[in-house]
Amino acid sequence: MSLNEEVELLRQIPLFSNVEPAKLKLLAFTSERVTFALGQMMVQQGDTGDAAYIIIEGDADILIDTPDGPIKVATVGRNAIIGEIAILCDVPRTATVQAKTQLVTLRITKDLFFRLVNEFPQMAVEIMRELARRLERTTAQLQAAISQNK
C-alpha cells in the first residue's frame, strides 16, 4: 500500500476525518505497519499501553479475561482503532485482542497520538463519541446478561 493509499484509509476513519491531508501523510509515514498472523495476540489484557493500532486489513476478536477463561465480547475489522484507552488513560490494557484472520495494522505511538489530539481537538471529540458508543453497548450487554440470570 502506498503512502497516499494509507492517507486515504486514515481519512475514512471518523477519528481522523477532520485532520488535514499533510498531517495524515505525516501520521502514515511515522506509523509502523505491523502484521499479525491468525491467532496471534496484538495486545494482552493488563499490559502497559504504549501504542494504538488501526486495522487496515483483517478482523480481530476482543477478549476479556474472566475466572472461567477468556470471553469474546466483540469482533472488529477494517478502520477500527485498538488500544487507545490504555494510552489515553494511562491504565493497563483493558482487553486482549487476538487476530481472527491475518491482520495488517498501523501502529501509532503514544507520543504521536497525543500530538495529534493536541493539534486537532476534533479528534478528542471523536474519541469521546467512540468511547460513549462502546459504553452504551457494554451497558446494554450487561443489562441483557442480568435479565437472563433473573
Residue spans per domain, the chain:
3-149
Q: Is the pTM of this model over 0.85?
A: no
Q: Which CATH fold topology does 3-149 show?
A: Jelly Rolls (2.60.120)
Low-confidence ranges of the chain (pLDDT < 50): none
pLDDT in tens, 63-90: 999 999 999 988 999 888 888 887 778 8
Task: Write down the pLDDT at residue 114.
Answer: 83
DSSP code, position 13: S
Q: How many residues does the chain have?
A: 150
- The per-residue DSSP string of 81-122 comes to EESHHHHHHT---SSEEEESS-EEEEEEEHHHHHHHHHH-HH
